[in-house]
Amino acid sequence: MFSRTSPGTGAHSPTVTGFHDPATGSIQYVVADDSTKKAALIDVVLDFDPAEARTRHDSAQEIVDFVRSEGLEVEWILDTHPHADHLMASAWLKEQLGAPAAIGARVRDIARLWEKIYNTPGAFDPDRDFDRLFEDGDTFKLGNLDVRVMLSPGHTLGSITYVVGDDAAFVHDTLMHVDVGTSRADFPGGSSNELYDSLQAILALPDQTRLFIGHDYPPVRDRTEPAWEATVASHKADNPHVGGKATREAFTRLRDDRDATLGLPDRMLYALQINLRGGRLPDPEGDGYRYFKIPANRF
């Protein structure tokens, strides 16, 4: 995987290493407090081959190896939302590292929505499968760093942003890189109107805040390598969807028109039934195998 490190700039600033997963365009993060060597993992991918419905742990193992090589102690395994384009590795990482897994509290609402879509009443229990469900405004510690949770709906109805220290925010599928724009808002429970509000809250953070996004799909214009970091000031000045004085009406029209042209990610109908279990596959059936349930002609 392609990776890049953004060093901390002081006692209240984390060092952030991002790992780009080329199969899904996802960015996975190791966030470290340099003073204590405590770390959090954010949005780590469980490798999946849709053609064979086969899972692997190669990407997650690479991140575990990195953490160990850097002498870091993982305190948190964090996800920003139940991803539609990749399976989350949180359950496996918890087995390997012993750290608690966490996500936003509105995952309960997402679970109820998808139980209906899959016609599997009671299949998902976020309170069972996650150790912490964060509410908007919750705070916790990463080493000596303060972490604040912001509810950031739009892409999903329960997406959250982690603001770490005084100059880093993990904004998942809200913004894309500053030369691309923003993320889609057309999945079940999504809303371009809510996404606009979430983006405005993120862009109200201090101008020097480093924003770390959820995805990049190079090549983009003149850029061939993936990129995932830009400041609030850069997005406010140059992001083609929200830079300058973009109005709510202009943004929602642009976003809705663009989303109407997009197909579903090829992993989505597999991913949601795993991610709403905290990264656990369904229980084995009588023959010892685990099975996905895929709704036909629903989308």
pTM value? 0.96
As given in the structure block, the two tokens for residue 201 are 């809250």
Confidence at residue 239, expressed as pLDDT on a 0 to 100 scale? 96
The closest of 35, 36, 43, 34 to 16, measured between CA atoms, is 34
Residue 113 has phi, psi (to 5 degrees) of -60, -45
**225 CB neighbour count, 10 Å cutoff:** 11
Confidence at residue 221, expressed as pLDDT on a 0 to 100 scale? 81
As given in the structure block, the two tokens for residue 73 are 């102690």
As given in the structure block, the two tokens for residue 119 are 């016609």
Confidence at residue 197, expressed as pLDDT on a 0 to 100 scale? 97
Residue-wise pLDDT tens for the chain (299 aa)? 899 999 999 989 999 999 999 999 999 999 999 999 999 999 999 999 999 999 999 999 999 999 999 999 999 999 999 999 999 999 999 999 999 999 999 999 999 999 999 999 999 999 999 999 999 999 999 999 999 999 999 999 999 999 999 999 999 999 999 999 999 999 999 999 999 999 999 999 999 999 999 999 999 888 899 999 999 999 999 999 998 878 999 999 999 999 999 999 999 999 999 999 999 999 999 999 999 999 999 98
CA atoms within 13 A on the CB side of 265: 21
Confidence at residue 245, expressed as pLDDT on a 0 to 100 scale? 79
Residue 275 has phi, psi (to 5 degrees) of -70, -30
Helices (H), the chain: 58-69, 90-97, 107-118, 126-129, 192-203, 232-238, 248-259, 268-275
Enumerate the domain spans of the chain: 2-270
Do the beta carbons of residue 12 and residue 166 sit within 8 Å? yes
User: So what CATH class is 2-270?
Assistant: alpha beta
The closest of 3, 63, 10 to 39, measured between CA atoms, is 63
Strand arrangement of the beta sheet that strand 26-33 belongs to:
2-6, 15-21, 26-33, 38-42, 73-78, 101-104, 132-134
Rg, Å, the chain Cα set: 18
